[in-house]
Every structure is written in C-alpha cells, then in structure tokens.
C-alpha cells in the first residue's frame, strides 16, 4: 500500500489510466458517475467483498475516488473536481463508455479463445 489519498498535484496520468484499465474498476466508476456517494456494499454485484476492497484500494491510491467512513460503512465518491482540474475532459470521455462496460461476471463464458495462430511478421499492414 503506497499512498492513502494522493493530493491533486500528485495525480499521475499513467497511474490513473492503469487504474481504469480494468473492467471491474471501470464499472465502479460508471456507477459512481451519477450519484453522490455509494457504500461499498452497493457494488456487490461486481464481486466479493475482498475483491471490491482490493479494487477500491487501487482506485483510491490512483486518486480517482475518496473514501469516507461512517460507522462500519465506507462511502465512496468520485474525485470529480480534482480530476477535472488536472485532466480536463477525462471523466467526461470515459464515463459514458464506463457505464456500458458489461459486468465482468466471474470467469464464466470464456468463448473458446479463437487463438488465431499466425505466421511470423504477418500482422504488418500494407
């Protein structure tokens, strides 16, 4: 665990983008987008408590969300202002697509990976 909540100036694009490069976390952002706060439990259809805790930590350490405690609950919110200040347009661009991310739903439905075996150097265009 590196950082608790980075300050606005500590936000780094690579970290933010890798934090968003996971469909579970993207789905979380999608759900936070038109709501002030959510408690962790309200993401339960995205995974187990442990998994959620893990992904929350990633989002928090990247600076995408704030976590507030109230009794035994954690209330999570998007750090919209700081993000818009440092990376204008980022949220606006990503949120619509994030809402459309299909729920990861377990490891089911692996569509028999095509595994298109190709010969060497054959991916070059032109």
Give 84-92's long-range contacts (Cβ < 8 A, gap of 24+): 85/8, 86/8, 86/9, 86/11, 87/11, 87/13, 87/16, 90/16, 91/33
Cα gap 51→13, rounded to integer Å: 24
If one asks whether residue 56 binds DNA (CB under 7 A), the answer comes out as yes
Shortest distance, CB of residue 108 to its own copies, whole angstroms?
Answer: 18
> Which of 10, 73, 85, 100: binder of DNA (CB under 7 A)?
73
5-13, 21-29, 77-85, 86-94 -> range binding DNA (CB under 7 A): 21-29
Pick the closer one to its own copies by CB: 19 or 78. 19
Smallest separation, CB 121 to DNA (Å): 5
Q: How far apart are CA 57 and CA 103, in angstroms?
A: 19
H-assigned helices in 4-115: 13-20, 23-32, 49-62, 80-86, 90-100
Coil, strand or helix at 121: coil
Using CB under 7 A as the criterion, which residues of the chain lie in contact with DNA when the complex forms? 1, 18, 21-22, 24, 39-41, 47-58, 67, 71-74, 104, 106-107, 120-121, 123
Using CB under 8 A as the criterion, which residues of the chain lie in contact with its own copies when the complex forms? 1, 3-5, 13-23, 26, 60, 66-70, 74, 87-90, 92-94, 97-98, 101, 116, 118, 122-126
């Amino acid at each position: 665990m590196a950082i608790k909540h980075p300050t606005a100036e500590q936000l780094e694009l690579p970290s933010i983008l890798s934090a968003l490069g996971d469909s579970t976390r993207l789905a979380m952002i999608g759900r936070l987008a038109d709501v002030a706060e959510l408690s962790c439990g309200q993401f339960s259809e995205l995974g187990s408590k442990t998994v959620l805790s893990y992904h929350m930590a990633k989002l928090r350490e990247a600076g995408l969300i704030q976590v507030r405690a109230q009794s035994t609950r954690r209330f999570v919110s998007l750090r919209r202002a700081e993000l818009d200040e440092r990376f204008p347009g980022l949220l606006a661009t990503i949120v619509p697509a994030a809402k459309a991310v299909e729920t990861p739903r377990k490891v089911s439905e692996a569509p028999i990976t095509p595994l298109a075996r190709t010969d060497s150097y054959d991916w070059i265009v032109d």
